[in-house]
Structure 1
Amino acid sequence: MEPRPLSFLIQTKLYPLSIIMRNLPIEIINVVVENVSSMTDLLQLRCLNQAYRDLVTPIAFTKLHIKNSIQSAQNFQQIIAATHLATHVREVVYDSRDDECFQFPQENIEVEDMLEVAELEEALTEAFCAIDALPRLECVTASFWPSFISQSGKEIRESPFWFTNRQLTVTHAIYHAMKTSRMTSLSLNNVVMMPPSRYDFVSSLTNSPLSHLSLSVVPNADISAWSGSKDINGSLGALLPLSNTTLKSLALRSPQGPYHSLETKLSSFHYPSLESLVLENTIFDQTPSPDGVEEFVIRQKSGLRHLELRSCASYVASPSFDARLWSSIWQRWATELTSLRELVVDGDSGYVVLNADWGYVTYKPISTIAAESDSSSLEMFRDAIASACTVVA
Structure 2
Amino acid sequence: MPSAGLLSLPLELLDEVTDYIAASPQEILTLRCVNKALCSLVTPAAFRKIVVHTTDESAQGFLGLLVSTDIAKHVRVIQIVRDERFKRVGIRLRGVCFMLHLIPSLESLITFFPDEDASLKDPFSYNDDPTRYHFFQRDLLGGLACNPNPLPALRSLQIQVDNWFAYPDDLYVAAPFQRIVASLRDLRFLVQDTDYKSDLDHFPAEDFWPDVIWHRVLRPAVNLESLSMSCSLEFGSLIRLDLGSVTFPQLSSLSLSNLVWDDVRVDPQVVALEAEDFIVRHGKTLKKLELQSCTICVPRDRPTLVRSWAAVWSWFADELTELVDLVVEYNFNQRYICFLQEYGFDSNSVYSLRGTEEDTAALEALVMIVKGGKRGGVTSCDGD
TM-score tier after normalising by the smaller chain length: 0.7 to 0.9
Contact 1:326–1:349, Cα closer than 8 Å, also in 2: no
Please state how far the C-alpha of 1:332 moved relative to its aligned partner: 3.7
What residue ranges of structure 2 are gaps of 5+ in the alignment? Answer: 117-126, 267-271, 377-384
Residue 174 in 1 paired to residue 144 in 2?
yes
SS at match of 1:53: helix
Amino acid at match of 1:92: I
User: How many percent identity over aligned positions?
Assistant: 24
Q: Which residue matches 1:378? A: 363
Contact 1:280–1:312, Cα closer than 8 Å, also in 2: yes
Amino acid at match of 1:184: R
- How many residue pairs match? The answer is 343
Please state how far the C-alpha of 1:350 moved relative to its aligned partner: 1.7
Q: Which residue matches 1:329? A: 312
Contact 1:45–1:53, Cα closer than 8 Å, also in 2: yes
Amino acid at match of 2:336: Y
TM-score if structure 2 supplies the norm length?
0.73
CA separation of 1:382 and 1:32: change in aligned 2, threshold 3 A: closer
Residue 199 in 1 paired to residue 144 in 2?
no
Residue 159 in 1 paired to residue 129 in 2?
yes
Residue 310 in 1 paired to residue 292 in 2?
yes
Q: Which residue matches 1:135? A: 104
Counterparts of 1:325 and 1:286, CA distance in 2: 9
Matches within 5 A, 1:27-66: 27=10, 30=15, 32-36=17-21, 37-66=23-52
**Which deviates the most, 291-300 or 159-168?**
291-300
CA separation of 1:308 and 1:146: change in aligned 2, threshold 3 A: closer
Q: Which residue matches 2:269? A: none
Please state how far the C-alpha of 1:66 moved relative to its aligned partner: 0.8
Matches within 5 A, 1:1-393: 18-20=1-3, 24-27=7-10, 30=15, 32-36=17-21, 37-95=23-81, 117=88, 120-145=89-114, 159-177=129-147, 179-189=150-160, 190-195=163-168, 199-201=172-174, 204-205=178-179, 208-218=182-192, 220=193, 223-224=194-195, 227=198, 231-233=203-205, 234-235=208-209, 236-238=213-215, 240-243=217-220, 245-253=222-230, 258=234, 262-287=239-264, 292-318=274-300, 320-322=301-303, 324-347=307-330, 348=333, 350-354=335-339, 360-364=345-349, 366-367=351-352, 370-383=355-368, 385=370, 389=374
RMSD (Å) for aligned C-alpha atoms: 3.9
Q: Which residue matches 2:382? A: none
SS at match of 1:164: helix
SS at match of 1:145: coil
Deviations 1:211-238 (A, max 9, x none): 11111333x3xx4555589853221425
Contact 1:128–1:173, Cα closer than 8 Å, also in 2: yes
Deviations 1:158-210 (A, max 9, x none): 82222123213312433455834211111112212334866324884397111
CA separation of 1:31 and 1:248: change in aligned 2, threshold 3 A: closer
Deviations 1:96-115 (A, max 9, x none): 67xx9xxxxxxx99xxxxxx
CA separation of 1:60 and 1:305: change in aligned 2, threshold 3 A: same
